[in-house]
Amino acid sequence: MNEMMFEDYDYEDVEVEYADYYEDDTYVMPDEESWKDDSDEQTVDPFTLDELYNYCIIPTITDSHKHLIGILSWSFLFLLSSRTFRIPKVLIHLSSTVSGGALLWHMFDWRSCLMGGLFVITYLNLLSSHFVLRRWRGPSCFIIGVIYLIVCEFWMVNPMWWHAFRGIQMVILMKLVSVGYDLDTSQLKEFPNLFEVTGYTFNPGTVIFGPWIPFTSYQNVLSPLKWGLKWVLKILMNLSISVAFLIFSTCLVNWLIPDNSNRWFIAYRDALSFRSSHYFVSYLSEVSLNLAGIESVSVSKPLKIEFPRSLVEVVIYWNTPMHHWLKTYVFKPSRVKFGPFAAIIFTYGMSALFHGLNFQIAAVLFSLGFYTYTEHMLREKLAVIFDACILARPCKSCKHRKKDSTLFCIFVNLILGLVTMFHLAYLGMMFDSSSQMQEKGYNAAHTLKKWSTLNYSSHWVAFFMYVLMAVL
């Protein structure tokens, strides 16, 4: 194959990248079991709107504001301390570090030392590889950081604690690895000093939920901020959307699709609830980023995911900053050495590793790797056979005889889009509201049991598509 998914994507409207999955890793939703009957055998009348408002929506907002106020307040305090009047650059970076450190301590108390430990060992490795080896800065940071994460996950940290903040560790590691790779490729001309790196790593606008931003974007904090009504309205709009997705995920989805529904409706409900919690975090991360005075980033695009053209686009728009990070620092270097298909598998493997050594996440990501590769290649072959715009991404300028607006292309893209929605329901169904599972992470038995209830149908469909792709 000549051009693969990660190579063809357009980032003109996205300045930076993604940090996948800080969403449910760093924020624990209120326990839905507290407002649902514990007995599977007993039928419970659905809540009225008034009961839903009083017993779910209000408690959800009340419980969540404790964390949200801290994140938004420290981001705004950093903005006020660094951008309202001119101060030396070193004080700006120091303010970023102190604000982010205070936020981490506010949310995780002494456990925030684990984030500091990851920074220390990775930064020391970055120093040694830069001044001693003068190469391999990115790969060495990646290796030493992953070893630290594995040791923490299996031997040092309570699983419930680790599940709560492993997303933060992932963002920290992504930042330091990107600095190393940018030095290797001369994207950064000079080695940033300690104040610059700590300010970048622990900036309050990105340290909790992300998103990942490159070091060059962080340096915008050194420039005067353009205050204005547009800036304020954007913050308020994104905050409102974020809270709306939180309420929808925690309360409304289970009210609209009750437990006595068809198993496929329940699968779609659980997956939709999980996706909505991700949208909550994505929009909240945009708010914190703007409040910290850093250039705005589009993290996720829910409409592109809920009404998809293809799984390839879902992968892109799920978290565009992290996707860009994976493409730049994992896929491209590995493709040169191993080829496109192996690079895709390696990229999804690294994404799974960054999210923690968890069977559930690994199973979903490796399935996505196989699904997206199959879909991309099948669509590419069908586009040639039918001379039609039915690629995984819309054609920008092509010589296909049948354009996107033709009835044939609309029909094919609609059918494959529905297949994508089917895959999303199947892959996301195990991210349910089992509170004990959520606190520790989902194991292999939980994942396979969930998929077995649907007879592994999505994997069979993907296998059929692969066979069809292979024979064409």
CA atoms within 13 A on the CB side of 87: 16
Q: Please state, in angstroms and rounded to a whole number, the distance separating the CA atoms of residues 344 and 336.
A: 12
> Looking at this protein, which amino acid is placed at residue 96?
S
Taking alpha carbons only, the member of 241, 231, 125 closest to residue 179 is 125
Q: Which of 93, 355, 376, 423 is catalytic?
A: 355
Counting Cβ atoms within 10 Å, is residue 40 exposed (0-12), middle (13-18) or buried (19+)? exposed
Known catalytic residue at 106: no
Phi/psi at 395 (nearest 5 deg)?
Answer: -70, 135
Overall residue count recorded for the chain in this entry: 472
Is 297 in contact with 15 (CB distance < 8 Å)? yes
Q: Is the dihedral of CA 398, 399, 405, 406 positive or negative?
A: negative
Is 427 in contact with 458 (CB distance < 8 Å)? yes
Q: Please state, in angstroms and rounded to a whole number, the distance separating the CA atoms of residues 183 and 123.
A: 13
Tokens at residue 395, please?
């054609």
Angle CA(436)–CA(438)–CA(444) in degrees, nearest 5? Answer: 90
> Which residues are part of the catalytic machinery?
355
